[in-house]
Amino acid sequence: MQHESYEQPFVFPKWANYLLPVIVLGAMGGMFYLPTVVDLGASPITTAVGYSPLQPVPYSHALHAGRLGIDCRYCHTTVEKAAFAALPPTQTCMNCHSTIRTQSALLLPVRQSWATGFPVEWVKIHDLPHYVYFNHSAHVNHGVGCIECHGRVDQMDQVYQAKPLSMGWCLDCHRDPGSHLRPRDVAVTDMNWTPQDSGQDPAELARRLVKDYAIRDKAYMTSCSTCHR
């Protein structure tokens, strides 16, 4: 089951002033979307901060990623390679649940999926409008941790949207990503990591990572066509 997202009214940030001609074109594009906006605005389902739909199985990240310490990439196997962060197939759950809690009523849909071959129908939570281009691997491979965009997933019994995922929010980081970066090899999925763990001064670390990961300049990072292509 998939839900379209609720598109919020759009306010141009201050930096955009000197890009007026481009903005006018963009706004005309925006008018194009108006019917969709009105359509979805009437829908009871939104993907605002806090959005936390009930899932077919009460799968807990707090238990599996938090207490059991399973790495995000054990289940979301494509985050480093692809735009999309894949959800785990039933096989991944059965690696453990063919021997653990085999009689649990909570796991009945997982066992049914295993028996029938039909996937568990997880409800999508984070969902950008289709005209925005987003890519997980571009972020994860440049040292942007899951926590920056998804919050303390390792403490969530039921996943909720922690950040606005609005254009202004994306741009806040794109204008000056340095302080949001972490060493990708050790910390990209580690939700307890702090800059102090690097043993380096945070400002110094930010400068080093921007250089090491060859982060592109502000003009590229804030250009419309980076996210709208």
Task: In whole angstroms, give the CA distance from residue 104 to residue 94.
Answer: 13
Q: Which of 26, 198 has the CB closer to ligand HEC?
A: 26
Site track 167-206 with ligand HEC (rule: CB under 6 A), x = hit: x--xx-xx--x--x-------xx-x---------------
Q: Which of 40, 140, 187, 206 binds ligand HEC (CB under 6 A)?
A: 140
Q: Which of 40, 46, 51, 93 binds ligand HEC (CB under 6 A)?
A: 93
Task: In whole angstroms, give the CA distance from residue 146 to residue 143.
Answer: 9
Q: Which of 51, 113, 136, 183 binds ligand HEC (CB under 6 A)?
A: 136
Neighbours of 62 (CB within 10 A): 16
Of 77-85, 111-119, 192-200, 201-209, the window that binds ligand HEC (rule: CB under 6 A) is: 77-85
Task: In whole angstroms, give the CA distance from residue 172 to residue 177.
Answer: 8
The CA-atom distances, in angstroms, between 49 and each of 8, 127, 154, 161, 165 are 12, 12, 17, 5, 8
Q: Which of 9, 44 has the CB closer to ligand HEC?
A: 9
Q: Which of 48, 138, 186, 203 binds ligand HEC (CB under 6 A)?
A: 138
Q: Is 159 in the site for ligand HEC (CB under 6 A)?
A: yes
Please report where in the chains the tokens 């480093």 appear, as a residue: 80
Of 18-26, 38-46, 111-119, 192-200, the window that binds ligand HEC (rule: CB under 6 A) is: 18-26
Minimum distance between the CB of residue 200 and ligand HEC, rounded to whole angstroms?
A: 18
Cβ 157 vs Cβ 62: under 8 Å: yes
Q: Is 4 in the site for ligand HEC (CB under 6 A)?
A: no
Minimum distance between the CB of residue 160 and ligand HEC, rounded to whole angstroms?
A: 9
Please report where in the chains the tokens 């941790």 appear, as a residue: 145
How many residues lie near ligand HEC (CB under 6 A)?
88
Task: Enumerate residues 6+ apart whose C-beta is below 8 A from 132.
Answer: 167, 227, 228
Which is nearest to 169 in space by CA: 139, 146, 195, 149? 149
Minimum distance between the CB of residue 92 and ligand HEC, rounded to whole angstroms?
A: 5
